[in-house]
Chains A and B, each alone.
Chain A
């Protein structure tokens, strides 16, 4: 009499425990490492917006976005400043690491940031291997394009060499790739030379009271509107790759 009942209770208890443990297992963290095009900005910098900011608004509560991107960083300085180590230490099985560098790696005129292609390749492989060693899932992202058009109104490639390196590393090491460079060039082309400016942190003098002189030049950094469009491209990339993470994107 006694035994089967206690077995049943045990089984029931186990099931109850499992049903409560289940959501905890479903928690996933997305670590974002990259540069100023991806990073967060204080509201005092508004309308300047990194694409990682709106990106965080499109996931269910099971997902935690840790945007660790920093302005001005290349793969080399992100590593040498010790920004990667604490992330690496915190990685857990099933976490994602979204990797988007290039703008500062390729900047030969900034020697303190510059990273030659061979070293860039090596650093990307290091991020990938470190992530995999912790059973996390690396995702390589080509650097979002700068806004550049030729006289005929064609959107031009602005990271040819460094995006090529990202694609090559992704291919050789079987890493999921989101070709944001290509996707953003297509986006700018759809907007055209004049309207594409609406995506960037540009302001006419007197337009915005915080910036009386306006912001006359910007081919790189987004406003809130542009950052959201770039985030949409990355979200689409996640869906096209059929990453498990796609199941956590909130659809109304």
Chain B
């Protein structure tokens, strides 16, 4: 019989290796906060940095505030009142999340274009030009971002209201409060952490965006990173901007943590019985309906109709052989990335389970880092990591064979998939983590006691039981990769296009209508995980 000394430690090593690979590109950026300046840098600081910072700040504050207002208001109405259409609106209000900010930007610029439906209508009917009505500015960005991102707050608030507010409201009503007063004085303060968590997701997306701000000509950190790299060819400046953006994000995360503090707010008691909803009639009904319907119309229905119309107009010339290649590229890339993320997540989670060490568990928590960091920052981190590795490779080959070889990893699909792994690992990780938590460790121990090893146990016991969670996680990564823009633009191999980059290119070339078919596919596939998420929320 074989003696296996410290057989368990190899899993700790595996977890550490995966985390290290994922953390290196991020840490490299972090280090660059403290070092390195370049020639264009002083130019950047003098003329542009203040503008970047200011625009990013204005966006964060205004989109955050507006999303908070709209999301909370919708969630409150849906949770507290009963009216015709409530059930449908409850899940319809999540749908704007399926539209990426950059696609929303194209659509609204098209709608308010000189030849777009709004201005044409006013011109023809009233002879008014409406020249002042222009969305291609900072206000336009604030508007379109709010309209697609408010559901983060809505979902977060609604989940909290549903779980905790029933008993809170009943308690305050039994103490003589009106429902409105109960909401303002009790529920709203108690739900603060949930609301802030929703807002912080909104802000991560705001800071991640490149397509919308670029399209509307608003300079932020992400456009600065692109300009430094693509226009000025100054990687060092791009890295520095990336590190500043990352610092910005970390400040937001710390603020969120800090406001949560030591208080625990979720002790509001789980109400198993749903709250008795107030039936709304008359003008109150119209008002409640308007609160929910306007964001839905502006955030989903109108943009979708416009896209469908454009697709109908342009499909015959856009959908050709090249389009199918595009579709193939996108699906292949998203599929491989989903597979890689899910595999990494499974190995990490299983490794932590097997290693049974708090230190390993803490290390594994670093895997969530990537999702809060903007795609452009990760792209830059991956780029400098791979360039370094490639230089070693070239030197090594020169030493070994005396010949000069080209880059191995930079500018390859590998770089792109690696970057998706860093950014979206946690998207696959969370549902699988939840799935693992439901598997009793005794199932794994039973398999061991039946003479099967750790790997067999993973493939024969854990993975089959986790099937649904794994598929869910893979689908979410798939969709996220499909709509990803800034990271893909920076790292894609030369002349390699995906649905997202092609749509962006069409729109940038003043061919917004032609970008519609690709955009429509991205949105329709993006709806899948939302329906999945929705099913989960309704269940709880």
**A and B physically associate:** no
